[in-house]
Structure formats: C-alpha cells, structure tokens
Structure 1
Amino acid sequence: MGDARKGDLGVKQRESMVAYLLWFILKARNDWVYHHQEPRPKQAVDRAVEAISEFFNQGEKTEALNRGGSDVWQQPPYCWHKINCDGAFLERTKQGSIGVAVRDTEGTLIHGETDSL
C-alpha cells in the first residue's frame, strides 16, 4: 500500500505515469525513424508529465495548446497496420467517448471500436 503523505503518488498514478512516459518515448522514437526528427528525451518526459497532469486534473479548466502537429492521416509502412485513437469528454454533461481505428497501408479500415465513458 502507498503512503498517504501529501504528494505521494498512488499505484494507479504511478502506473499511469509509466504508461504515458512509454507512449511519449514511442512517439519520439517514431518521429526519429519515420520523420528523421532528432530525439529530445526531455521533451518526451515534459509531454508525459503534462499529459498525466491533465488526465488527473481533468475537472479543472485548462488552455488548449497548439503544437503545430498534423491532423492528416499518414499511411503506415508496407505490411504494417496503424492504430489511431481519440477521445472527448464534456464536463457539462459528465459524458465522454473514446474511439479506436486500425487501418492497413492502403487506409482500409481493419477494425474500429467506440465506447462511452
């Protein structure tokens, strides 16, 4: 069991932080492999910390950030599948949903799924 002291992360928070950190490391690796962008470990860690903070403070109002990313789907390498996911939550109604799409190199939908939160 975790310590109840202020500032001590619970098991779920630690697990979530590890998951976010691994996800942002993978994103940085993919940017290096597929887009020849130099890896920036500190940036990956900063983004993971920001994401986990946003996740656990989701009831608080935050400002939208524009990182200059592309919203255009890009095909994966030959014989690969690409998994895209997204989610939304409306504070006013306390309702949200998530969606996942798996597509092949041609952009053909292999599997898709949605769920309400």
Structure 2
Amino acid sequence: MECQGPIHVLECILKLPYEKKMMTVALLWAWWSERNKTNHNESRLSTGEFIFLIKRSTDEWLRFFKPPTKSSTTSTPRWTCPPAEIIKINTDGAFLEETRDGGWGALARDSNGSIIFAADGRITHAYDALHAETIAIQHAIGLANQLGMGRIILETDSQILKQALLSPSLNQSRLGHLFLDIKYQLITEFIDYAVEFCPRACNKPAHSLAALGMRNRQSDQSLWLSVFPNFVTSLVTSDIAVS
C-alpha cells in the first residue's frame, strides 16, 4: 500500500510489526532532531552516530514499553556469587541530562559474597547515560587491576554496553574509542574476564553508589576497602540472605 500524506504515513506506521514500528519512530525522532540542529547551525551527527542513536533509542523504548509477561509464579531476579577464585564487579552509572553530570559506582564481591571493595565518583560533561555506564566500567577495571585481581566478571545493567564490549558493532560510534580502550585493558591486564548483563534488581548496591557519587562534591572518587557504607552492607546482606 502506497503511503501519501501524513495521515496515510501514520496509518502505514501503525500497521508495521511492533519492533519495526518502534524503529521507525526512532528514525523520525532522530531525523527531526538533526533538522533542528541544522536550523540552529549546530554540529550534526555523523552517519555512524546517527545509526547508533536510532538503534539505542529503539532498544531502550522496546525494553521500556515491553508488556509484562504473564507467569504462574512470580520471581525476582537475584544477584549470584561468582565461581571460586573469581571476583564479580557490579557497575552502574547515573546521568542527569539537564547538567550533563552524573556519577559512577562499583562493588566487587568474591565467591562467598564478601565485599572486596566499594567505590563511587563524580562524572562531569557526559554525553549521555551510556557514557556514564562506560565510565563506571572504566573505573572498575582500573581498580581491579590496581588491586591485583586476575580473574573478573563485570556485570552491568546496560545491554547496549555489554554488546559494545563483546562485539565490534559500536566501535565506530561516538564512544567507540572508549569501548576499544576497555577491550584492550581486559585482554592485556587480566588472566580471564567476562562481561555480563544483570537486571537492575541485581545491581542495587552499584546503583546506589552511582547515585552517591553524583552527589559527591568533596572529591572525584571514594574507595572503601574495609569499612563500608551502611547502605551498601545492608543491600549486600539482603542479596546474600535471599540467594
């Protein structure tokens, strides 16, 4: 069916499969945004960045608007301990679009669920939420290397970041140089590593640390190696109690 005029275009979009419908909306939104930049003489995205923006928006909207699945039993995902001799590090980033500032958090635990370190810090001049998530993993890797950890599992609640670190698909995006740097550090600095996705429900301590880092005005980074903040130990104890 040929689409003529805005009403017919809308009717055609509504007839598309759900995923293609969301991708079309993301394309139109990105196109409108680039048109506004042109009208205001602002710098525009490259072709690679434009495609990346459409894909990221589509993925985020699909997750946000995904209808809940019906199940006979309701279960909440929980954090799980890593195998013996491996350290699992949960990371998270917080981002405030109005100021382009944010925070990052990282929490490392061993196979018994014991905390190895907790850390947070401020972020300034971030591009977006994905940039904040990427900075969080960068700091986690730096601390793990500094503390002599040879085998690690990195957990993030960003599917896009996991994809970026496990494939070359986003190497040409605006954050591509950061993804490549992280991959290089993982390969050269660690005996063994993995990057895994975890739901937000499994990432509460790191999420709370990132929120604390965003509010931190005294220093760029805080690191705890023995005595940990009460809210961290409380969330960790809750994780272990139900695992």
TM-score, normalising length: structure 1: 0.42
Q: Which has the higher strand share?
A: 1
> Which has the higher relative contact order, 1 or 2, with Cα contacts under 8 A spaced 6 or more apart?
2
Tell me which protein shows more helix as a share of its residues. 2
TM-score by length of 2: 0.22
Structure whose alpha-carbon radius of gyration is higher: 2
